[in-house]
Amino acid sequence: MSEPIRLFLDLPVPPGGLERLQRRLAADHRTARRHVRWLPAGAAFASGVLLLAILLPGAITRQRQTDQLTAALHAAIAPPPGGIRVVDGAALELPSGDPAVRLYLVQAASAAAD
């Protein structure tokens, strides 16, 4: 038991066994070469997916912020439904050449003397 080589049996090589082994090893070598050709393509695809996974959330966030800013600007520019209301003064609507633009002349009623 101290010599590990005695644990293995000496088996005779079957007829044609060496040739079959050599053919099999040559076939495995050709198959391995074919897989190596696809390795750069697979690496490029994986890199693209990784890059997309990194950049896509930031692009979505920026688009949401842009949409929110655009909606806020539209809400700020849009006139109130009943027209403008002046608390301490008067407003006069002026004619405009563009129907989408409204012009108002707004003036305070009186300046309080301090």
pTM greater than 0.95 (yes/no): no
Question: What's the total number of domains in the chain?
Answer: 1
pLDDT of residue 92: 86
Q: 93 in a domain, yes or no?
A: yes
pLDDT of residue 113: 46
From the list 107, 101, 104, the residue with the least C-alpha distance to 78 is 101
Q: 36 in a domain, yes or no?
A: yes
Q: 5 in a domain, yes or no?
A: no
Owning domain of residue 61 = 11-108
Q: 87 in a domain, yes or no?
A: yes
Low-confidence ranges of the chain (pLDDT < 70): 1-2, 28-35, 111-114
From the list 81, 88, 78, the residue with the least C-alpha distance to 111 is 88
Q: 3 in a domain, yes or no?
A: no
